[in-house]
Structure 1
């Protein structure tokens, strides 16, 4: 259980930093759609922080880990992905693209971390926990990737970076 606790403590710090990233950059992005997605992701990361903290607390108390609840809001995610970008300049879209790229890489790092965590634990319920957390982060990465693709499309910049 010590290994799982340490993995969760690192995950907790990752999730907190992700939440802070979205909070700090929500007002920096120009696209209205991006602001909505960043607010959504900030709130999702906050729910991950609470959930992971509750898991750490349970481990400290010697209790078995809680079963996961899926915090995803697929209807919200699909609605955001189907929205068009607002009119903006090429320069402001490029500025947003830099922030989106950082967000995408953060989410990809989370995916990789949870994937490796699942490989390192032997307990099947812990493995399932980390796979579910990985899948949550994959959905976040896909949302960010969708934003980047919309900017590439808008400006005919399909360079195949994130395929």
Structure 2
């Protein structure tokens, strides 16, 4: 269990970083849709922090098995969300928002890859299942951010009057 505990403690610190990133950058972005997404991601990362903290406590106590930790998955706002039109904004705001959302996408990609690699490197089936579940959550975050990034990039190209050839 020492390996699992090390993975969970590292994951906890990464989730805290992600939570802080979203809380800080929701104040910087101008796009209202992106603000809302960052607000929700901050809340989700906070839920991840609580979940992983419970896992660490259970692992350290030894009184509970990992599969006894219950986390109620909600139908996140990402799944039920309908995309809104982006209100026309200043070009400077658009480029700033694009940079921030790209960083958010990369953070979620890193989280997903971390959990995938950790799952591949633990023997405990319960730990493996939990890490795969965390990876799935991060993948959903990543994919939602990528879709929004792609849509915002197209809006930016339209605003600028061009589209790259690739």
Query: What TM-score do the two structures reach when normalised by structure 2?
Result: 0.89
Asked if the contact 1:68/1:129 (under 8 Å) is kept, the reply is: no
Q: Give the whole-Å Cα distance in 1 for the aligned partners of 2:38 and 2:78.
A: 12
SS in 1 for 2:85: coil
Alignment deviations for residues 91-130 of structure 1 (CA, whole Å, 9 cap, x no partner)? 2111101111111111000000000000001122111110
Distance 1:147 1:118 in 2: 28
Give 1 or 2 for the bigger CA radius of gyration: 2
Distance change >3 Å, CA 72–CA 138, structure 1 → 2: farther
Residue in 2 that maps onto 1:21: 21
Corresponding pairs, count: 160
Contact 2:23 2:38 in 1 (8 A): yes
Deviation by residue 1:61-104 (Cα, 9 ceiling, x = unmatched): 10211345353434x21444522212212221111011111111
5+ long unaligned stretches in structure 2: none
**2:35 pairs with 1:35:** yes
Q: Deviations over 1:17-56 (max 9, x none)?
A: 0000000001100100000000000000000000000000
CA contact (8 A) 1:33 1:86 kept: no
1:145 maps to 146
- The answer (yes or no) to whether the contact 2:115–2:134 under 8 Å persists in 1 is yes
Which of the numbers 67, 70, 73 marks the counterpart of 1:71? Answer: 73
RMSD, aligned CA: 1.9
Contact 2:51 2:71 in 1 (8 A): no
1:64/1:158 CA distance change after superposition, 3 Å:
farther
**5+ residue gaps, structure 1:** none
